[in-house]
Structure 1
Amino acid sequence: MKSPCILTLTLWLFTAQAFAQNWPDEHWSTAPVSPSPALQALEDYAFPPRDDVTRKGIRTDALLVIRDGQLVYERYAGVTNADTPHLTWSVSKSVMACVLGVAFAEGRFQWTDSVAKFYPPFNAHPDIRLEDLLHWASGLDWQEDYEYAPLNSSVVAMLYTHGRADAAAFTAAHGVASKPGTAYRYSSGDSNILSAALRTMVGEQAYPDYPWTALFEPLGIRSAVWESDRSGTFIGSSYAYMTARDLARIGLLMQRGGRWGDKQLLPKAWVEFNLTPFAHVQNDAVNEVPGGQWWLNRLPPRESDLATRPWPDAPQDTFAALGHWGQAMYVVPSTNLVIVRYADDRDSSYRHDQLLKRVLAAFAGEGAQ
């Protein structure tokens, strides 16, 4: 057993290390990198010439890289600039997971709780737990297609037609396709049920300000806007906006295990849950490895060690918040990198792995694996 003196010294060293790290205050400290062939290769990929009439090809609106807590690269295009709160689309889901993490720290729920405990319309589905929603595994019969089949799309109906008044209620009315927790089925509806459950967890009075008081203000985020449906529930699946610099603060929080300065804002158990692969992913969907509303570069436990990771040119510990039309925030703890990309990609030409490969070469060295 360690002596009291050694334990005290260990705690002091941990606290000193926390303060020694770079943390943004009102602004990020900067340490711009010098031009290099690797940086030019990154820019050639992220900012190519594009025909805005056809809207085909890669269109990056913002690219920002944080290394060791410092802003080392930043570039904008079009009407987007450092002060633009950009629509994050489904990156919103990962942001909501962080908001829920603060509620978890406050003891407001356990991830094994029944959803019906916090959202009564789910009384018809008593076996669906919060962790099932977090894994996009509620088992509800949901169709997430956008442009491919808009007339059959559950998410299009939820956001723009039948469900726009109350996204959670619209989702709860869906039938059952599989047993809860046994199959991954990506669903913006699951994410909006989580947002509605949060409303009960924190109470009607606190809810309208809760993302700000719980998460945004402690991180120094000033630009955030989050749209609600007509019922007053945040559209947790899709409609958070913030600047690239502010979104990077959430990435740094997750890169450092839920800690912000000397405070453990998100419990380590919550971060670990978010970053653990959901076990029940079909073999043909291994290019999408869900955690708890985050996307992972680690394979589910039952997959062969020989299987290809979603982003093979990035380290295994890489994880991401991803959204429609190319929105992305990548976190690479082993290289202390946080990457934010805002975009308007209208085709399938953009590849996460290709951007990550070039960022790693420019900012972490080619051998960063």
Structure 2
Amino acid sequence: MPKGLSLIFLLLLSLTAQAENWPAEQWPTAPTPAGPALQALEAYAFPPRDDTTRQGIRTDALLVIRDGQLIYERYAGPTTAETPHLTWSISKSLMATVLGVAYGEGLFKLSDPVVKFYPPLQKYPDMTMADLLHWASGLDWQEDYEYAPLKSSVVAMLYTRGHHDMAAFTAAHAEYAAPGQAFRYSSGDSNLLSAALKTIVGPSRYPDYPWTALFEPLGIRHAIWETDDTGTFVASSYAYLTARDLARVGLLMAREGRWADKQLLPKDWVAFNREPFTHYHAGQDDAVPGGQWWLNRAVEGVARPWPDAPADTFAALGHWGQAMYVIPSEQLVIVRYGDDRDGRYRHNQLLQLALKAFAGKVRP
């Protein structure tokens, strides 16, 4: 691009950023819409809470950003606006976002073999970074939780024989399919990405990298991310953020990786995150996998997983009802933390009610 045109482009980008709403230390606010639609949303998200049985829908936090402004916020249980809440598998999407910064630095390519960055995978030389991001390593992994703990790979990784070195535990699993050919949701794949990042950015940068690369540029001040005994971030499960801080990551993704006047994530990285995995088959999960994010896309002629939300909706999701929904067409970011133990919570129902309450246009 000629120098003069480049300067004009940067000026226009700066003016656009100034016209948009961006959080500084605090989120800019706008009035909360009132009325029956909001009442219906709150009745669903915040029913009477029984802490003795821990049954039913148990929302800890619900926060809504529209057009870069905080328009709704409510907390329950022990959670407050200052509480760094356990995100569970939202951590996977956070690691993908951190990796996106390293990708933008030119430190790796999606086609790079993972063994280049994590030598214990030498038995699987064809496994690529893209394969791990799609949960398609080909490793024989069992992502079972409380209902089947004895055969669960993830329970063993987090709590028993694998917890000292989670990436090594994952790498020792046998292969059930060629890398990149089949989707199998795996917390182990996410921890292999975290171990690879250590080599990608170098061991001296790695302990601070999520902060210097992502959290600090977004103004996130109170993030916590646990590591295993090798110092590797538990990318599958153990990042903690306040709802307000997590929403900053959502706004970054809603605006295609741009934060004010800086393109923090390359646009092609965000596009990769939001593109369905080619070999995913409808019905394998409750949403369609992208690059460590979940998509509301129709696959193989099957309707969208969340039919009452726009097709461009995508999300970071976690155990026990953690969710961050990003809806670019409505300029909405919705953070929902929960303590749901019995599976009654439904993404589509909350999205339907939230869109009626907060979308820019009236919905039936």
For the residues of structure 2 that align with 1:135 and 1:218, how far apart are their CA atoms?
Answer: 26
For the residues of structure 1 that align with 2:236 and 2:35, how far apart are their CA atoms?
Answer: 38
1:338 — aligned with what? 333
1:39-50 matches, within 5 Å, as 39-50=38-49
Query: After the TM superposition, which parts of structure 1 deviate over 6 Å for at least 4 consecutive aligned residues?
Result: 2-8
2:197 — aligned with what? 198
1:54 — aligned with what? 53
- Does residue 80 (structure 1) correspond to residue 75 (structure 2)? The answer is no
Quote how far apart the aligned CAs of 1:326 are: 0.2
- Does residue 133 (structure 1) correspond to residue 128 (structure 2)? The answer is no
List gaps (5 residues or longer) in structure 2: none
CA displacement 1:184-239 (0-9 Å, x = unmatched): 10000000000000000111111100000000000000010000000110000000
For the residues of structure 1 that align with 2:96 and 2:109, how far apart are their CA atoms?
Answer: 13
RMSD over aligned Cα atoms: 1.7
CA contact (8 A) 1:116 1:122 kept: yes
CA contact (8 A) 2:226 2:239 kept: yes
2:309 — aligned with what? 314
CA contact (8 A) 2:13 2:261 kept: no
Quote how far apart the aligned CAs of 1:13 are: 3.2
For the residues of structure 2 that align with 1:232 and 1:6, how far apart are their CA atoms?
Answer: 46
2:354 — aligned with what? 359
1:230 — aligned with what? 229
2:93 — aligned with what? 94
For the residues of structure 2 that align with 1:36 and 1:188, how far apart are their CA atoms?
Answer: 41
For the residues of structure 2 that align with 1:359 and 1:121, how far apart are their CA atoms?
Answer: 45
For the residues of structure 1 that align with 2:263 and 2:82, how far apart are their CA atoms?
Answer: 28
CA contact (8 A) 1:314 1:357 kept: yes
Quote how far apart the aligned CAs of 1:71 are: 0.4
Give the letter aligned to residue 346 of structure 1.
Answer: R
Instruction: Compute the TM-score of the two structures, normalised by the length of structure 1.
Output: 0.95
CA contact (8 A) 1:286 1:310 kept: no
For the residues of structure 1 that align with 2:153 and 2:303, how far apart are their CA atoms?
Answer: 31
Quote how far apart the aligned CAs of 1:124 are: 0.8
- Does residue 329 (structure 1) correspond to residue 342 (structure 2)? The answer is no
CA contact (8 A) 1:315 1:368 kept: no
Instruction: Compute the TM-score of the two structures, normalised by the length of structure 2.
Output: 0.97
CA displacement 1:65-123 (0-9 Å, x = unmatched): 00000000000011100000000000000000010000001111001100000000000
Give the letter aligned to residue 89 of structure 2.
Answer: S
2:284 — aligned with what? 285
Quote how far apart the aligned CAs of 1:179 are: 1.0
For the residues of structure 1 that align with 2:255 and 2:293, how far apart are their CA atoms?
Answer: 15
For the residues of structure 2 that align with 1:240 and 1:51, how far apart are their CA atoms?
Answer: 27
For the residues of structure 1 that align with 2:283 and 2:3, how far apart are their CA atoms?
Answer: 53
For the residues of structure 2 that align with 1:270 and 1:38, how far apart are their CA atoms?
Answer: 36
1:21 — aligned with what? 20
CA contact (8 A) 1:65 1:339 kept: yes
Give the letter aligned to residue 78 of structure 1.
Answer: G
CA displacement 1:297-331 (0-9 Å, x = unmatched): 1134xx12xx2101000000000000000000000
Quote how far apart the aligned CAs of 1:3 are: 11
Identity of aligned residues (%): 69
For the residues of structure 2 that align with 1:45 and 1:5, how far apart are their CA atoms?
Answer: 55
- Distance verdict in 2 for CA 1:232–1:217, change over 3 Å: same
For the residues of structure 2 that align with 1:72 and 1:358, how far apart are their CA atoms?
Answer: 15
CA contact (8 A) 1:313 1:357 kept: yes
CA displacement 1:116-153 (0-9 Å, x = unmatched): 00000000110111100000000100000001210000
For the residues of structure 2 that align with 1:284 and 1:34, how far apart are their CA atoms?
Answer: 36
For the residues of structure 1 that align with 2:161 and 2:33, how far apart are their CA atoms?
Answer: 52
Quote how far apart the aligned CAs of 1:9 are: 5.3
For the residues of structure 2 that align with 1:5 and 1:234, how far apart are their CA atoms?
Answer: 44
CA contact (8 A) 1:255 1:331 kept: yes
- Distance verdict in 2 for CA 1:100–1:10, change over 3 Å: closer
Query: Counterpart of 2:275 in 1: which secondary structure?
Result: coil
- Distance verdict in 2 for CA 1:183–1:3, change over 3 Å: closer
